[in-house]
């Protein structure tokens, strides 16, 4: 009997430029929401309503990982030492940049942060020491670089995805696994509520099974019907947390965001011709630098707000300067990190695998 999940994965499309672009847009969303958040936490927001939902974008990252990483592993599933090779690829994809930025954040916290008006992280997070610095290299502690908590979730999800695929040999077990993960998310356990987000990984992984017929059905609908359906899904995904003010510890928000973004990503993946505009070079560029932008911007924003505040600028000039300089500095830094940390690390990972 054919493996249920793998038989679907082997028929799925290869690389998706559209999903690559979506990842870049999600990273931009997180970046812009943190620009606002840094201004607000520093007392410069003028009570402007928060329009950028970076938290929802993080859920999108997890769903994307379930789909893209799950597919990548599936295509190599029957190769010798497949799990070892998968682990090497994931290590060199995630950890080199984590090492650089956690090291940078830790050095900043020990040297400059005590003298700054606006700290890197809120006092409610507790003290920072060597133990927290070391734990930060896997995102277990987020103090050296707050966005790194999601990399801890990525590491947990990456470790569990092989188990998810192994258990999905039969359709019934695949469905039971999904139901179990949705129930498991109702319990508040584990660091960074990691169990909440495993259903997001499974949700992304499940697109491989039902995404193609779903896209065919959507294409058979009238344009107006499609717009209404996806408008409702996007509104549920994007607006729910903004309206109800859910925190990271609210599992029901994760349910809503996961269930509403999965159909959108499925259609983008399988109905790609509808989204051909996402293949434009600008979207590829932001897709390329998305990981570096996501992990590097928070530290840069903390440094920048303190430098501008120390210059004694009036509030309006400070806000405008901060917004403009955030873009001018963070995007080139992200490009540098992509070219000189991420890309060499991926090449090194391939070289390590070639030697085996």
d(CA 118, CA 107): 16
Q: In angstroms, how far is the first alpha carbon of the chain from the final one?
A: 32
Tokens found for residue 115 = 């003298």
d(CA 351, CA 338): 18
How high is the pLDDT of residue 1? Answer: 66
Q: What is the pTM of this model?
A: 0.96
Q: What confidence tens digit (pLDDT) does each residue in 280-313 have?
A: 999 999 999 999 999 999 999 999 999 999 998 8
- HSE toward the beta carbon, residue 208, CA cutoff 13 A: 32
What is the crossing angle of helices 223-244 and 251-270, to 10°?
A: 150
Helix ranges (DSSP H) in the chain: 4-9, 17-41, 54-75, 82-111, 130-136, 149-167, 171-184, 194-220, 223-244, 251-270, 281-288, 290-310, 315-337, 343-354
How high is the pLDDT of residue 297? Answer: 98
Tokens found for residue 117 = 């008006």
For the chain of 356 residues, list the mean pLDDT of each consecutive stretch of 10: 90 92 97 92 71 89 97 92 95 98 98 95 90 97 96 97 96 96 88 94 97 94 93 91 75 92 96 91 98 98 96 90 97 98 97 85
d(CA 161, CA 95): 18
How high is the pLDDT of residue 247? Answer: 66
């Amino acid at each position: 009997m054919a493996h249920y999940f793998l038989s679907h994965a082997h028929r799925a499309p290869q690389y998706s430029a559209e999903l690559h672009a979506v990842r870049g847009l999600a990273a931009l969303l997180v970046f812009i929401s943190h620009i606002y958040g840094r201004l607000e936490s520093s007392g410069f927001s003028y009570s402007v309503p928060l329009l950028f939902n970076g938290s929802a974008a993080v859920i999108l990252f997890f769903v994307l990982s379930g789909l893209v990483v799950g597919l990548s592993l599936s295509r190599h599933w029957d190769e010798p030492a497949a799990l070892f090779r998968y682990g090497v690829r994931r290590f060199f994809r995630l950890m080199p940049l984590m090492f650089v930025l956690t090291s940078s954040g830790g050095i900043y916290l020990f040297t400059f942060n005590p003298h700054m008006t606006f700290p890197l992280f809120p006092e409610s997070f507790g003290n920072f020491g060597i133990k927290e610095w070391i734990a930060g290299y896997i995102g277990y502690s987020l103090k050296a670089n707050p966005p790194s908590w999601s990399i801890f979730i990525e590491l947990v999800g990456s470790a569990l995805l092989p188990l998810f695929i192994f258990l999905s040999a039969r359709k019934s077990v695949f469905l039971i696994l999904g139901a179990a993960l949705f129930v498991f998310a109702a319990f508040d356990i584990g660091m960074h509520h990691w169990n909440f987000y495993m259903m997001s990984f499974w949700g992304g992984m499940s697109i491989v099974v039902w995404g193609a017929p779903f896209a065919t059905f959507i294409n058979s609908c009238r344009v107006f019907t499609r717009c209404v359906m996806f408008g409702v899904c996007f509104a549920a995904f994007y607006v729910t947390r903004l309206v109800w003010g859910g925190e990271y510890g609210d599992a029901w928000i994760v349910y809503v965001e996961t269930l509403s973004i999965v159909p959108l990503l499925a259609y983008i993946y399988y109905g790609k011709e509808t989204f051909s505009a996402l293949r434009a070079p600008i979207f590829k560029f932001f897709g390329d630098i998305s990981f570096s932008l996501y992990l590097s911007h928070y530290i840069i924003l903390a440094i920048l707000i303190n430098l501008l505040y120390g210059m004694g600028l009036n509030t309006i000039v400070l806000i405008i300067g901060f917004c403009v300089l955030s873009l001018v500095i963070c995007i080139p830094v992200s490009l540098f990190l992509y070219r000189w940390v991420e890309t060499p690390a991926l090449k090194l990972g391939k070289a390590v695998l070639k030697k085996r």
